[in-house]
Amino acid sequence: MTELIYCRDENPEATGMPLLLIHGLFGASENLMGIARAFKDRPVSLVDLRNHGRSFHAETMSQREMAEDINRLMATKGWDKADILGHSLGGKVALQLSQLFPERVNRLVVADIAPVDYKPHHQLILEGLDAVDTDTVKSRSEADKVMSEYIEEPGVRSFLLMNLVRAEAGGYRWRCNLEGLKANYNDIRTAPEFQQAFSGQALYIRGGVSDYVLPEHQTQIDQFTPDATMVTLEGCGHWLHAEKPAAFNQAVAEFLV
């Protein structure tokens, strides 16, 4: 695969170390615009991972392949190195990039994810998305009602429904490659491939009420990123950059000074 993933550039004329933002599973670049707006003094690029947003659809999407996509994009942009921030799956891709192409990563920010294997926990989300008949559904509210049988939290459904867009021929379609996400889910939930310890600085930001980054994950965090610090945003769940954007952006800004 030589096709480039989609990239939205903010502040392209700014100087300084570029910042590249990587969204999580079922997300897209626009989910991280609140972070991009907080860093107007440097070039910021927001990517759509393969099978997400406006990027190409592919049969496979291992973390290695997605890191290679990022490396290829940086080479095309002429960026030798950048600060990399990833949330959830994007954090795993950022960690994989630091393993395969450490020369590309200046500093690393990993938001509410650890370099570990996670048990399957998106089954109801995938079933809820699958239950929506995009050929016949007449509105997002109708799709939301269908999904509510599987996904209890309205905020999660609202986030997922950002993927439901109008089809050119009429009706709706999923913008993400739902079949590709289902087929590759086991690759997505596993730990990144370890190559060698990343020698640069890393910051992990975890939600205080999230169960994604736990004390028992510290061994793997130390293995991948020995020069890492941890910040906990109290009262936040997994979507910490959306729940407490000011506190999240401040933690990132203080690290990237």
Active centre residues (catalytic): 88, 238
- Give the contacts of 176 (CB within 8 A, at least 6 positions apart): 26, 28, 51, 52, 53, 163
φ and ψ of 180, to 5 deg: -65, -40
Q: In one letter, which amino acid is 158?
A: S
Residue from 251, 219, 249 nearest 34 by CA? 249
Q: In one letter, which amino acid is 73?
A: L
Instruction: Tell me if 76 sits within 8 A of 69, measured CB to CB.
Output: no
Residue from 179, 236, 242, 231 nearest 211 by CA? 236
| Local structure of residue 44 (DSSP, 8 states) | E
| Local structure of residue 54 (DSSP, 8 states) | T
Instruction: Tell me if 92 sits within 8 A of 114, measured CB to CB.
Output: no
